[in-house]
Amino acid sequence: MTECWYGGALEYTADAFFCFTTTIRRPILQMSLYSEYQYFLYETISKLREKGITFNQIADHLNKKKILSARGKKFRGSHVHSIIKRKRVRDEKLKEKYPEVRSDFYLDIYDKSIISDI
């Protein structure tokens, strides 16, 4: 900001603006939400895994109870494993912290004396 005396009073003849861009990244904005059914499957499988049951045994258990996958298919051990793995990876991404990035720094100065003369 520039100062000058004009007619016995202090006047500011320029405004200065420090400008920059801030980029904020949040993973939650990039992920789709789990449906209630997907979350039910994950919870059911997790409880069975805590009891020490293998993926193939869990798949057999779910198939016997006529519980289908989110796409309406029968379970296999690899599918059960995938549900647990994807949820774990998703949770890790949600916990990840991303730093803010500031860029494009510049200083804009507007001389008000030019504008007031018009």
Neighbour tally for 83: CB within 10 Å: 20
The tens digit of pLDDT for each residue in 24-58 reads 777 666 667 788 999 999 999 999 999 999 999 99
| Domain of residue 8, residue span | 1-24+100-118
Residue with tokens 């100065």: 109
Average pLDDT over residues 99-118: 75
* Cβ atoms 59, 75 nearer than 8 A: yes
Minimal CA–CA distance to 100: which of 31, 46, 25?
25
What pTM was estimated for this model as a whole? 0.58
pLDDT confidence of residue 115: 61
What is the CB-side half-sphere exposure of residue 93 using CA atoms within 13 A? 14
Q: Give 44 or 99, the one with higher predicted confidence.
A: 44
Residue 40 and residue 75 share a domain = yes
Residue 45 and residue 64 share a domain = yes
Residue 20 and residue 49 share a domain = no
